[in-house]
């Protein structure tokens, strides 16, 4: 197995996290679907002219959040940066599932690794700066007075994930293939480190990164972040 007990528990927690996430989200969606429909129309003026405009508005409000831009310009800038960088970084994580051979065949393996290092590193730094802003903002009025512990817990969990991910990106002593073998071992229900990871201190950073991800994923369905799903319904209601 080649794994220390801590890393093994973290790997097992991945399965728990997936189960809790799927069950939690299903439960949330069932509760929403069952809640009685409001008789009153909550749409915001002006009413969209037709179905196409309405669809466009729901997509715009969900992805560009113009409401935030109106209220807090800096928050909007950092939120856009954070979500865009998150999207790119998560896309990059698919290399852990399968190598992007469609890219390496065109630009070569070395260039793909450089692209990953520069792109991943840049996204990681952008996310860290944005999270710094999210945190800093909560210490200033008026947000200071309306912040609850959950707001801080979520930022700290995310900062943990991103900080540890960046640490691997900038100081990691193993190769993408080694991380991939680890990830695939979890997907095959046989968690293990290969020789390179078992010998390297990087395994601790990796396990802590995955531990923070697990905690975040377990908490997600019960946190305010379920807005990821809820936002589409809310924006649909606003456009009625
Ligand atoms: C079980 C799930 C995950 C695993 C196994 C994992 C693994 C890794 C690994 C191995 C790296 C280093 C990449 C390299 O240096 O070649 C990394 C980097 C990173 N991870 Fe994750 N990760 C997971 C989930 C996440 C999630 C959910 C987020 C964001 C919320 C995240 C954010 C980052 C960031 C920002 C970096 C640094 C920038 C980059 O290389 O893209 N990770 N992760």
160 lines ligand 1 (CB under 6 A): no
Topology annotation, domain 5-48+72-225: Fumarate Reductase Cytochrome B subunit (1.20.950)
Among 25-34, 57-66, 96-105, 209-218, the minimum mean pLDDT is found in 57-66
**Distance of alpha carbon 112 from the chain centroid:** 23
The pLDDT of residue 114 is above 70:
yes
What is the per-residue pLDDT for 36?
Answer: 83
Name the phi and psi angles at 82, rounded to 5. Answer: -60, -50
DSSP characters for 141-194? Answer: TTHHHH--HHHHHHHHHHHHHHHHHHHHHHH--S-HHHHHHHHHHHHTT-----
Among 7-16, 50-59, 156-165, the minimum mean pLDDT is found in 50-59
Ligand 1 pocket check: which of 81, 93, 202 to mutate, most ligand atoms within 8 Å of Cβ?
93
What is the per-residue pLDDT for 90?
Answer: 97
User: Residue whose CA is closest, atom 15 of ligand 1?
Assistant: 169
* pLDDT confidence tier of residue 229, bands split at 50, 70 and 90: confident
* pLDDT confidence tier of residue 19, bands split at 50, 70 and 90: very high
24 lines ligand 1 (CB under 6 A): no
Query: What DSSP designation does 225 have?
Result: G
Ligand 1 pocket check: which of 17, 84, 85, 89 to mutate, most ligand atoms within 8 Å of Cβ?
89
Cα–Cα distance, 89 to 34 (Å, whole number): 36
What is the per-residue pLDDT for 1?
Answer: 59
Give residue-wise pLDDT tens across range 143-177. 898 899 999 999 999 999 999 999 999 999 999 99
Name the percent of the chain lying above pLDDT 70.
98
The pLDDT of residue 227 is above 90:
no
217 lines ligand 1 (CB under 6 A): no
Among 27-31, 52-56, 141-145, the minimum mean pLDDT is found in 52-56
What is the per-residue pLDDT for 188?
Answer: 96
Among candidates 160, 169, 45, which has minimal Cα distance to 96?
169
Average pLDDT across the chain, whole number: 91
- Element of type H or E holding 96: none
Give residue-wise pLDDT tens across range 187-199. 999 999 999 999 9
Among candidates 176, 177, 196, 193, which has minimal Cα distance to 185?
193
Are 239 and 57 spatial neighbours (Cβ–Cβ below 8 Å)?
A: yes
Cα–Cα distance, 71 to 60 (Å, whole number): 17
The pLDDT of residue 102 is above 80:
yes
Mean pLDDT of 112-141: 95
* pLDDT confidence tier of residue 33, bands split at 50, 70 and 90: confident
Q: Counting beta carbons within 10 angstroms of the beta carbon of residue 73, is it exposed (0 to 12), middle (13 to 18) or buried (19 or more)?
A: exposed
What is the per-residue pLDDT for 46?
Answer: 72
pTM: 0.90
For 34, the token pair is 């069952």
């Amino acid at each position: 197995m080649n794994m220390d007990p801590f890393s093994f528990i973290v790997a097992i927690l991945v399965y728990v996290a997936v189960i809790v996430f799927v069950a939690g989200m299903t439960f949330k969606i069932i509760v929403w679907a069952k809640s009685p429909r409001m008789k009153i129309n909550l749409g915001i003026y002006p009413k969209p002219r037709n179905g196409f405009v309405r669809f466009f508005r729901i997509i715009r409000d969900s992805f560009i959040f113009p409401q935030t831009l109106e209220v807090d310009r800096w928050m909007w800038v950092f939120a856009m940066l954070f979500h865009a960088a998150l999207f790119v970084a998560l896309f990059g994580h698919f290399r852990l599932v399968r190598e992007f051979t469609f890219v390496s065949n065109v630009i070569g393996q070395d260039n793909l690794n450089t692209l990953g290092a520069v792109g991943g590193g840049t996204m990681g730094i952008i996310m860290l700066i944005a999270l710094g802003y999210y945190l800093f903002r909560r210490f200033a009025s008026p947000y200071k007075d309306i912040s609850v512990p959950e707001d801080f817990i979520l930022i700290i969990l995310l900062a943990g994930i991103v900080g540890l991910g960046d640490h691997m990106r900038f100081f990691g002593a193993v190769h993408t293939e080694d991380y991939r073998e680890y990830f695939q071992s979890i997907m095959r229900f046989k968690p293990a480190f290969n020789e390179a990871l078992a010998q390297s201190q990087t395994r601790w950073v990796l396990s802590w990164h995955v531990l923070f991800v697990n905690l975040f994923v377990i908490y997600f369905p019960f946190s305010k972040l379920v807005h990821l799903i809820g936002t589409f319904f809310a924006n649909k209601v606003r456009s009625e």
